[in-house]
Structure 1
Amino acid sequence: MRNDLRKSDIHLDGIDKRLIELLYDNARTPVSELARSVSMTAPSVNERLKRLEESGVIAGYRVDIDPLALGYSLIAIVRMRQLPGKMHELEAQINLIPELVECDKVTGDDCYIARLYLKNISELDPILDSISDLADTNTSIVKSTPVKRRLLV
């Protein structure tokens, strides 16, 4: 990040927001197409993207994988409350579970809330067993996702 530009100084105008929306929908959109979409020249769009990257607003470009296409038909939300003195061990174990694709450390009754992708329900117990000596768990199976991860701008 440039030293003269702090995140608190960032102001996104309508063009910045539109560029971010377009890239959020397809991070591989060519700059020429982005430029046409916002009625600007490609060099101007390039400069805006560079500024958004340098300021940290655009933190990276990612591929969005469809878990169902890879055979992961179930999603489970696992809430974990670590057992006394087991925080570091639990966190290390969480990082070893490849099906656990997202995990937040939270306040409240639970310590972690994780999103787990499974090919079938029989995979759930062995994963939960791998952390049973480290945490109490509460698991819910996701029926649907009415709000997908959405853009903040």
Structure 2
Amino acid sequence: MDKMDREILRLLQEDGRMTVSDLSKALSLSRPSMSERLHRLRERGVIEKFSAQVSLDKIGKAMLVVIQVGGLKVSLQAFEEVIQTEEAVIECHRVTGEVSYFLKAAVANVHELRELIDRLVPFGTINTSTVLHSPVRERMLLPEV
């Protein structure tokens, strides 16, 4: 990966809607060359997907919570199958340490949070934390030089 690829990644992480033309102009590269570079980055799996970042407040899910799940009462596979169907959960990470999973969930209010916890309790020990502020969100990632 060269300097130009790093710049492409930087620009796309700032604005994922940049067109090939916009990228070409910003980096003084022809559109065919830019298209080829983008194709290679996607083909190598460096760019996994393009998506929209949605405001949780604007869609009525203003309460963001981190949930730790430990002491599983079911197999890892069984828990992962269930958690994939849980719409409030927006991230799930299997981790090392005293707990087995960190979940990030978005709910509208305390009532929805209680219902989510009630659905999770049969699977293990649940510990929740409400996110008050996120000083670092979606940090830009670039490969080492």
Same fold at TM > 0.5: yes
RMSD: 1.4
Instruction: Give how far 1:85 is off.
Output: 4.0
Q: 2:112 aligns with which of 112, 123, 128?
A: 123
- Cα distance in 1 between the residues matched to 2:24 and 2:57: 34
Aligned partners of 1:84, 1:57: CA distance in 2, in Å?
37
1:30 to 19, 27, 30: 19
Superposition pairs of residues 1-153 of structure 1, within 5 angstroms:
12-153=1-142
Distance 1:131 1:110 in 2: 14
SS at match of 1:23: helix
Contact 2:72 2:100 in 1 (8 A): no
> What is the number of residues matched between the two proteins?
142
Partner Cα separation in structure 1 for residue 84 and residue 71 of structure 2: 15
Runs ≥4 in structure 1, deviation > 4 angstroms?
A: none
Alpha-carbon distance in structure 2 between the residues aligned to 1:107 and 1:126: 27
In structure 1, stretches of 5+ residues that fail to align are 1-11
Rate the CA distance shift 1:97–1:84 in 2: closer, same or farther, 3 A. closer
Quick check: 84-93 or 136-145, which moved more?
84-93
Percent identity of equivalent pairs: 30
Distance 1:87 1:56 in 2: 27
TM-score of the two chains, using structure 1 as the length reference: 0.86
* CA apart distance, 1:117: 0.3
